[in-house]
Structures are given as C-alpha cells and as structure tokens.
Structure 1
Amino acid sequence: MKRILISLVLFLSILSFSGNFSLSILNLTTMGLDDGAFDYFPILYVTYQPFDFLAFKVTDYLELSHDSWNLGTYSIFKPRYYYLEGKFDLFGYDVKLDVLKTRLKKSQTEKLEGLRVGGLKFDYYGAGLDVKIGKINLGAAYDLDLGSVAGYVQADLFGFKLGGYYETKYNQISLDVNRSFDLGNFSILAWTALSAKSSDIANFSYLVGGKVNFNNLALSTQFLSLGVNRYDADFQTGDPNDVAFLPNAWAYYLDVDYALNDYVLGVFLRYNSVWASDPNYLPLYGLKLAYKDFTLKVGNGDLESNIAGEQKIIAELNYFYSLEFNKLFSFNSKLVTPVEEKKKGFNSIMDVILGEEGKSFVVKGIVTSPKDLLGKGSFYIQDETAGLMIYSPVLGGDLNVGDVVVISGKSKLWNGVIELVANNVEKVGSAKVIPDVLTSLSKTFISAFVYVEGVVKEKNKYNFKVDTGDFIIKVYLKKGTNIDISNLNVGQKVKVQGILAVYKGEYEILPRWQEDIEIR
C-alpha cells in the first residue's frame, strides 16, 4: 500500500507541472457543548486541468465507506465521484460535458437549512450534458448501470427563475420557481416547488418559502407539506431525518436575523408533524450567534439530529481549505500566481454570478482595473473562477491594480451584468495580474481581465474591431483612459488586453491604458 501511495503522489506531482492542480477540503463540523459530542463531515475536491476546456475532477465524502479499485496485487480506494469535465463553445452556446461517475444536481429550493423539494440529485455512471442558451439552461444525464435518465430545464423569464425536472430512477417529476423583488429598503426572495411520482401526481408534495430583508434585519420562513412519495423531499439539517419518510408529514421553519458586519444575532423556530403528534414535544426554538463560518446555537430541545443524545447547545464551524498549483508549462495564461492560498469564509466570484440577486457575499480577489476608470464609482476584481464588477461610490479609491482585496456586499443585476454593491473593502495583500486568453464570446468571461490577438478589421474614432480568426471583437476606448490609436491602421496585427463588457448585446474589450494595446 505504501508503494501505491508513493506512486500516486509522484504521479500527481508530475501532473501539476503540466497542468493546473488543486486540492480542497470542505469540513462541516458540529460539536455538542452539553457533553462534547462531535460530528464532522469532510468533503474532498480534487481537480487536474491540463487545458482550459478540459478537467479531471474527484469529489469524495471522506467519512463514508469506500469500495476499492484493484491494480494487480495492489488496491486503492474508489472515490464517490470521478469524472472528466469538458467545457466548450458550440455555435455560440456554452456546453459542459461530464463523463464517468458523477452527479447531476439541480434545485432552486435549498434556501433555508438545506431543505429541498423536487429538483435533482441524480447519481450516474455514464454521461451528462449541460447547455446554456441565453437565459435557458438545459441538461440531461444517462446512467449506464441502471439505464435510468434524468433531465432538467431552467429559465430566467420576466424576473422569474423557473425549473422543471424529471428522472426515471424513481419516476420523479417536479417544478420549482423563485423570484426576487426590490422594494426600496425592502428586498424579498420567494420560492416554491411541487414534486410527485409521475404515476401519482395527485398526491404531490410542496414547499413555499420566503426571505424579507430590511436594512440589517432579515426574516426567513418556509413550510413543507409532504405527499405520499418519500423521495420528494430531502432534509440536510434542522429536522429529524425520519420526517422525510412519513407520508403527509409537514415541517415549518422560521428565522429572524440581525446582521452587523460579519456578526449575525438571530432567533429561530422549528416545528414538524412528528413533534406535533407527541405531547412530550414542544416546538423547537432558540437563539443563535454567528461570526462568518462559526455559529453558536442555544435551544430548548435537540438542535442536531446527527449527534447522539439531546444537544441543547451546539457550535458549528464550517471551513474551506484549498491548495492550488499553477501549471509550470502553460497552455493558456491564468490570473492567480500564488502557489498556496488558504480561504476561510469567502465566496468565489462564480458563487456571486450564479447566486441569488440581492444575497450577501464575501469575496476575495485581485484588482484588475482601478476605481472610476471604466465606470463611475466602480472597479473590477478577479479570482480563479471569474471576474466581477464592484460598485463602491465611497470605498476603494486608494486601490491599485494588483491589490488583493476582501469585499463584502450584495449582488445586483445592472444592465444585464451581475455586480457586487460593496459595503466593506479591505486590502489584504498584492499579487501579479495576468490576463486570461479570450477563447470565445461567452458570458463566462464578462467582467474578466482578458486578452486577444488578431488583425485590425475596422477602425473608428473611439473603437476598433479585431479579428482573432475565431471571432471578431470590438475594442472600445473609454473617455477617461486617454488612449491614442492614431497610429493604428486596418490590417495591422495587435494584442489587446482589458476588461470584457457587454453593451446593448455586443461584447467589448475595455482597455485601461495605452499599454493595453500592443501593435505587433
């Protein structure tokens, strides 16, 4: 076994020289302070990416039991998920293809305590496909072992996020929808879902919930009514798991929170049909105090069903640890150059882009364009996942390109682009900024620091177009940059770098200063 481990370490070390390699662990930890009982659930993520369009990924729940792969006289543990992920542009659509053992997970109802109704958690050994067509996402997966199929469609229409899901393993069909409302000082997020077996639609399950924010105060509530199908609902935390296996069961959640910077003080209420049917049980209620990823809860009953005994006082600590290695022999440029980075309590920029509008986030990234240069009151940052526009009329005026910053704020859709409205900006270091090659005109690159190489196809007073051979992109000169293109002529070869933006549906690169345009 030692020889297998040494060979594996050597193999991964060699791979890290020819591609990007990352290893991350998410640890969900709970301790009952009544008696010191302890529960933790570590999740391992490994990614090896030799090219921007291809990655090999492993996801494993380390505490669960494992099967083994036999390699002659040796054996090695088999992770829960292991798959090849390919991402590419097909006729202007973003396409993702997964092959081998993985999971198609889609849901729009996990808003409070991880309660899910409908959606998909479809494990498969086979192939899965996801396609993004404008405001519509659709996908499917096929499991070779069981011959089962799952599919979904999600769409963003008129401010509503709609989803439809079906899988043949349990003959499950479901619908969900959520909607955000901005009413001045009030912001509202509402969600609902229906789910049932396709052969027994009349006995469906449903979930309704909502969250209301008023300044620093937030009220969240949701109600589940379970039909006859036990697979309609999935409880992650907050309720005894047997509730999800009882026909016609119900559960109710209520949280009231007050947030001040990174601190949250709140009260909560939990009730369900199991407790209501037993006169010895009262509704579960209590207080919570949270600071970033640490939460302390005090209640009148058992707060954690995963720990044996009754836990009336618990501490929760969820943390994420990541090691990332850039490729030594690079096929494509990457932004982040530090070899090792530890992340605690930060969302990735992709979390902001894919998350609910109006939600609070804390992100860490490198400044790629200074404040007010490309837009009044705004600047841009980027991490290893994507780029993001930061709107900060008051904060951030002293930042420079290359500064590493931690920013907290709420996401907002502005002219079709997600931005973060900052309420706190903190400089924590510095790093080298390297643009990523723009491989396609895709929303994936919006607000990112990119570059293209090609031939000048057309020139105007404040813009010109570059033909890369794969696509034509406009380069637009913002007034405050004072960039001079008088020496630029049609037919010349150029390299242009800047921030990718979209204006009236057209992609544009916004160079920051004269040096961002290089005539070859």
Structure 2
Amino acid sequence: MRSLLLALVFALVAPALPAAAGQTLTIAKARALPLGSVVTVGGTVTTPSGAFESSFFDKGFGLQDGTAGIYVSAADDVHATPGRRASVTGTLKDSFGLLILVPTDVSLGRQGLPVFPRWTTTAGVSESTEGRLVLVAGRVTKAPASDLPYGYKFWINDGTGEVQIFVNTQTGIDVSRYHLGQALLVTGFSGQFDTSYEVLPRSPHDILG
C-alpha cells in the first residue's frame, strides 16, 4: 500500500517529460514551453518571407495552425508564401517581447488555401492573438508617422481602444493615403514590440478604406 501511495504522489508532483525528439507539437503547446526549448511545429504560412525585414532584420515568415501562430525568424529567404504548408524545427526565443522560433530546419510542403484572418477588436490585439493573422477595423486616430528606416506607424480605434498599425517598408504600402478619421479595414500579423501590441499588414491589399 505504501509503495502504491508513493507512486501516486510521484505521479502528481513529477515534472512533465519533454516531448520526444522530432515530435511535432501544436503551435499553442510550443508557445507554452520555456524560452530555449527546441520544438518542431507544422502549419500554414501566413506572411511571405521577408515582408517585415525592415523592422525584424530577417527574412522570416508567419506560421499558423488550428491552435495558434508564431513568427519564424529565418536568416535566409526560404521563399515561403501564404497558404504554403511548412514544418519547422527551431528554438523558442524572445525578440523585444515577441515570441519567435529561430529555425534550424524549414521544410516547405504543398501550396494550400491561405489562412483566414481572425476578426478581432482593436483592443483585442494582445498576447492572446500574438502570432496569428487578424482582421481589425476602425477609424484612424493618429495619422501615419515616420519610423524610418524601420517603416511607418499609425493607430486605429473601433471604440474599444487604439491599436498600432506598423507598416514595414518591404510591403510597398503608401501610408500617405490614410488620414485622421478615415475608416479602415486592416488584415495583418498580430505582433508585439516592447510593451505595444500591433498589427503588421503584408501588402497594399491588406488595408481597405
């Protein structure tokens, strides 16, 4: 009886064993692991390689499955395009508040359907959406301002709270078209820089208004 009780106690308090080498995790499970963990995840590419190079200083891309999303910080251009399936093995790291996956191996699969963005309130862009493709709508509350050489930024609000829209130079988006009070619909990668959450559009087609 005593040995049975000890076994039960050990089962309750023993730390969970790490995933077996090569085991593919959901992105949500990978995101819950400590920084420095080496993981393998699979999903669908949401942002093209290098679209955010001016501020991320890499040629990475967004990756999302049915549970969550993450930014893959690739040094080299693997020519990932939205809708392409991908499997990535790498190390979880922090980049100015944003959880990223620094890859040691990227395997691209077949081209599939693009990920449909998640409708989110402007105040809802937060840690819970980080890494995902989101869709927000609102009126411009702060006009576009230069943050070169990284890009440009402006803010929109749907009444729930402001969110920053950060436009990287590689996207080819002309921010001079946007002005105070203008209603916009913005699709983009849900990111974070320092303590600010932001939406990063991928191309001119991601901003309508």
Where on the TM-score scale, by shorter chain, does this alignment land: which range? 0.7 to 0.9
Instruction: Tell me the distance in 2 between the aligned counterparts of 1:458 and 1:433.
Output: 29
Residue 428 of structure 1 deviates from its aligned partner by 2.0
SS in 2 for 1:469: coil
Tell me which of 87, 100, 103 is aligned to 1:422.
Answer: 103
Is 1:409 matched up with 2:90?
A: yes
Q: Deviations over 1:302-329 (max 9, x none)?
A: xxxxxxxxxxxxxxxxxxxxxxxxxxxx
**Cα contact 2:119–2:136 (8 A) shared by 1:** yes
Calculate the TM-score normalised by the size of structure 2: 0.80
Are 2:117 and 1:435 aligned?
A: yes
Q: What does residue 191 of structure 2 align with?
A: 501
Contact kept in structure 2, 1:404 and 1:431, CA below 8 Å? no
Tell me which structure has the larger Cα radius of gyration: 1
For 1:474 and 1:391, how far apart are their aligned partners in 2?
22
Counterpart residue identity of residue 350, structure 1? A
Preserved contact between residue 441 and residue 471 of structure 1 (Cα < 8 Å): no
Contact 2:61/2:80, CA 8 A, preserved across alignment: no
Distance 1:456 1:390 in 2: 30
Q: Does 1:235 align with 2:15?
A: no
State whether structure 2 residue 130 is matched by structure 1 residue 446: yes
SS at match of 1:486: helix
In structure 2, relative to structure 1, the CA distance for the partners of 1:291 and 1:441 (3 Å cut) is closer
Of 125, 131, 141, 1:457 maps to 141
Residues 1:359 and 2:20 are matched in the alignment:
no
CA distance in 2, matches of 1:413, 1:234: 33
Q: Give per-residue Cα distances to partners, 1:59-107, cap 9 Å, x unaligned.
A: xxxxxxxxxxxxxxxxxxxxxxxxxxxxxxxxxxxxxxxxxxxxxxxxx
Instruction: Report the CA distance shift for 1:382/1:291 in structure 2 as closer, same or farther (over 3 A).
Output: closer
Which residues in structure 2 correspond to 1:211-226 (within 5 Å)? none
Bigger relative CO (Cα 8 Å, ≥ 6 apart) = 2
Between the aligned partners of 1:352 and 1:407, the Cα distance in structure 2 is 12
State the partner residue of 1:348: 26
Per-residue deviation at 1:350? Answer: 1.0
Q: 1:357 to 1:291 in 2, by over 3 A?
A: closer
Equivalent in 166, 173, 179 of residue 483 of structure 1: 173
Correspondent of 1:389 among 60, 68, 71? 71
Q: 1:504 to 1:415 in 2, by over 3 A?
A: closer
Task: Give the Å deviation of 1:411.
Answer: 1.3
More helix by share: 2
Stretches of structure 1 lacking an aligned partner (at least 5 in a row): 1-228, 237-243, 245-289, 293-344
TM-score w.r.t. structure 1 length? 0.34
SS of alignment partner, residue 131 of structure 2: coil
Between the aligned partners of 2:194 and 2:36, the Cα distance in structure 1 is 23
Q: Which residue of 2 aligns with 1:400?
A: 81
Partner of 1:157: none
Structure 2's unaligned 5+ residue stretches are 14-19, 146-151
Residue type of the alignment partner of 2:48? P
Q: Which one-letter code corresponds to 1:434 in the other structure?
A: F
Alignment of 1:245-256 (within 5 A): none
Map of 2:200 onto structure 1: 510
Q: CA deviation at 1:463?
A: 1.9
- 1:435-490 Cα shifts (integer Å, max 9, x gaps): 11124132011121111011111212322211112121111111221211222221
Q: Deviations along 1:205-263, whole A, 9 cap, x unmatched?
A: xxxxxxxxxxxxxxxxxxxxxxxx84883239xxxxxxx9xxxxxxxxxxxxxxxxxxx
| Partner SS, residue 233 of structure 1 | helix
Any idea what SS the aligned residue of 2:178 has?
Answer: coil
Give the counterpart letter for 1:503 in structure 2.
Answer: F
Distance 1:346 1:453, change over 3 A: same
Counterpart AA for 2:201: P
Q: Is the 8 A contact 1:501 1:510 kept in 2?
A: yes
Q: Which runs of 4+ in 1 moved over 4 A?
A: 229-232
1:377 aligns with 2:59: yes
AA in 1 matched with 2:25: N
Which whole-Å CA distance do the structure 1 matches of 2:98 and 2:51 have between them?
A: 18
Amino acid paired to 1:517 = I
The one-letter amino acid paired with 1:399 is A
Q: Normalized per residue, which structure has more strand?
A: 1
